[in-house]
Amino acid sequence: MHHLGDDDFGTWLWAPVGTTMRRGAEPPIVSTRRFVKLIARDQWWTAIWNEGGQIYVDVITPARWHGRTVHMVDMDLDVVRRADGAVTVEDEDEFEEHRAQFAYPNDIVERTRTVTAALAVDVERGVEPFGAIGEEWLARS
């Protein structure tokens, strides 16, 4: 991804159509639309704004930068706003499976659930950066 800029919310990155992405050991996929990603400062989430109006928010442990590389742990839960405006929480089954498999501490489980619930409300209400700001950064890419 390419550095687009920084603001009070964090660091904005962008990726053009054709960007190759990979999740763990899964096969790589190639993006069919451009998008921007916000690495939020000191937050338990990161978000992607896709062309077409979709917002995809990953609940994570707070991101830590090491030079030009960012490290975070995906907590599986996601908040998604579809192009039609519908907001859903996804991958609860995956979170539960990993919670048991990796014996997540109770404070991490509680924090993850609390953050997810608050994010769902903020995304649905368009609280910034989930209002106009993400779309403004996408227009700059």
One-letter amino acid at 42 equals D
> Among residues of the chain, what percentage have pLDDT more than 90?
89
Q: What would the two tokens of residue 100 be?
A: 């048991």
Annotated domain spans of the chain: 2-140
Model confidence at 131, pLDDT cuts 50, 70, 90, reads: very high
Find the helix or strand (DSSP H, E) in which 123 lies: helix 106-125
Is CATH 2.40.380.10 what the domain over 2-140 is classified as, yes or no?
A: yes
Burial class (CB in 10 A: 0-12, 13-18, 19+), 75: buried
CA distance 59 to 45: 4
pLDDT digits (tens, 9 = 90+) for 12-58: 999 999 999 887 788 999 999 899 999 999 999 999 999 888 999 99
With 90 as the cut, is the pLDDT of residue 141 above it? no
